[in-house]
């Protein structure tokens, strides 16, 4: 794994060398998956890739240096971030990953890389000077291939969750209703600043309605040619509007949403939306907006958190536009 004359390296060079190995390892696996060079069970949306690969990157980065020269403990935590962010940047430049996937992967990747770094630092210090050190590193390198075949059978689950948001509007119920049954085209200046948009989620554009009543069809469009067909199944004027949601998945370009986060894809979908008007004292309407979404992964505990956060941010932006338009009238 290391050159025979590695003893001539000082600690900074060993750290750079370890970070380079970690970077090459992580990027090579991502490119290999992208080009179908690995078995079908090793995919991006898996525990093996999302958790284990950054762990191994962190382990190798620290282990390579620590088994030769001692470093401060905090290096074990932060040094693995260098190859991790380097690999993420390279994947973005090569157009293998979009910004939204990079943003979602980075927090958990940093945590796993640090855990790997701590483990690598500990074992590297223990194994210093022993011939078994190369064997330890070699075994760790193959961890993703050992985990991947098992996780689909043990960890995979399909879950449905609901995200709820609301906003208070100083306007009559009929005005609020008229602004939710149809949503005229939204100018960019009407939308508030959004972290989800900054990482790549498209802006809402408009929602049309075929006719008023149960059975009507809404076409909700977003920037980047994203279209949702919404079939109205609850129509209670000035009280409640609900609809099933069907994403036109095949029409969403890869440049808009990566296949891993594509709505209607194998891992994530939005199934239902609902508006509800609640009358408050003083002529205020509390407008509730909720959505049901599906997560189908081997790490739903993490995917669910992101799905809920993105949907909540999106819903708050839509509610803000409705509030502003209603109160302006």
C-alpha–C-alpha distance, residues 117 and 235, integer Å: 56
Token code pair at residue 265: 């894809």
Contacts of 313 (CB under 8 A, 6+ apart): 194, 195, 196, 201
Q: Domain 157-328: which CATH class?
A: alpha beta
In terms of Cα–Cα distance, which of 48, 50, 150, 31 is closest to 93? 31
C-alpha–C-alpha distance, residues 141 and 48, integer Å: 12
Q: Half-sphere exposure (CA, 13 Å, Cβ side) for 94?
A: 14
User: What pLDDT is attached to residue 260?
Assistant: 79
User: What pLDDT is attached to residue 136?
Assistant: 76
DSSP string, 79-103: TTHHHHHHHHHHHHHTTSS-HHHHH
- Tens of each residue's pLDDT in the chain, 329 residues: 444 344 445 778 888 888 899 999 999 999 998 888 887 778 899 999 999 999 999 999 999 888 888 888 889 999 999 999 999 999 999 888 888 899 999 999 999 999 999 999 998 888 776 666 677 777 888 899 889 888 988 899 999 999 999 999 999 999 999 999 999 999 999 999 999 988 888 999 999 999 999 999 999 999 988 999 999 999 999 999 999 999 988 888 777 777 778 888 899 999 999 999 999 999 999 999 999 999 999 999 999 999 999 999 999 999 999 999 999 87
User: What pLDDT is attached to residue 60?
Assistant: 92
Q: Half-sphere exposure (CA, 13 Å, Cβ side) for 284?
A: 9
User: What pLDDT is attached to residue 10?
Assistant: 75
H or E stretch at 218: strand 217-222
User: What pLDDT is attached to residue 232?
Assistant: 98
**CA distances to 73, 75, 204 from 78, in Å:** 9, 5, 38
Q: According to CATH, where is 3.30.530.20 located in the chain?
A: 157-328
C-alpha–C-alpha distance, residues 150 and 323, integer Å: 49
Contacts of 7 (CB under 8 A, 6+ apart): 68
């Amino acid at each position: 794994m290391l050159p025979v004359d590695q003893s001539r390296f000082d600690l900074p060079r060993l750290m750079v060398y370890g970070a380079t190995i970690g970077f090459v390892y992580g990027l090579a696996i991502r490119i290999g998956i992208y080009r179908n060079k690995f078995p079908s069970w090793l995919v991006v949306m898996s525990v093996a890739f999302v958790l284990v690969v950054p762990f191994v990157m962190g382990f190798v980065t620290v282990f390579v240096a620590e088994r030769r020269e001692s470093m401060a403990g905090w290096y074990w935590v932060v040094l693995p971030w260098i190859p991790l962010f380097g690999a993420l940047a390279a994947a973005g430049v090569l157009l293998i990953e979009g910004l939204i996937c990079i943003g979602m992967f980075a927090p958990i990747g940093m945590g796993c890389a640090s855990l790997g770094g701590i483990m690598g630092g500990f074992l590297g210090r223990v194994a210093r000077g022993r011939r078994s050190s190369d064997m330890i590193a070699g075994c760790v390198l193959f961890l993703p291939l050992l985990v991947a075949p098992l996780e689909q059978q043990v960890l995979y689950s399909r879950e449905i969750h609901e995200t709820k948001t609301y906003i208070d509007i100083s306007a009559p119920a009929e005005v609020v209703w008229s602004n939710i049954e149809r949503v005229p085209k939204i100018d960019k200046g009407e939308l508030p600043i959004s972290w989800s948009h900054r990482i790549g989620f498209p802006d809402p554009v408009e929602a049309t309605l075929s006719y008023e009543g149960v059975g009507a069809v809404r076409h909700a469009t977003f920037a980047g040619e994203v279209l949702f067909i919404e079939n109205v199944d609850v129509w209670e004027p000035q009280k409640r509007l609900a609809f099933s949601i069907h994403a036109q998945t095949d029409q969403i370009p890869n440049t808009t949403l990566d296949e891993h986060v594509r709505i209607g894809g194998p891992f994530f979908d939005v199934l239902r939306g609902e508006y509800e008007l609640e009358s408050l004292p003083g002529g205020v309407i509390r407008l509730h907006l909720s959505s049901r979404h599906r997560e189908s992964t081997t790490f739903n505990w993490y995917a669910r958190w992101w799905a809920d956060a993105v949907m909540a941010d999106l819903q708050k932006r839509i509610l803000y536009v409705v509030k502003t338009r209603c109160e302006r009238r």
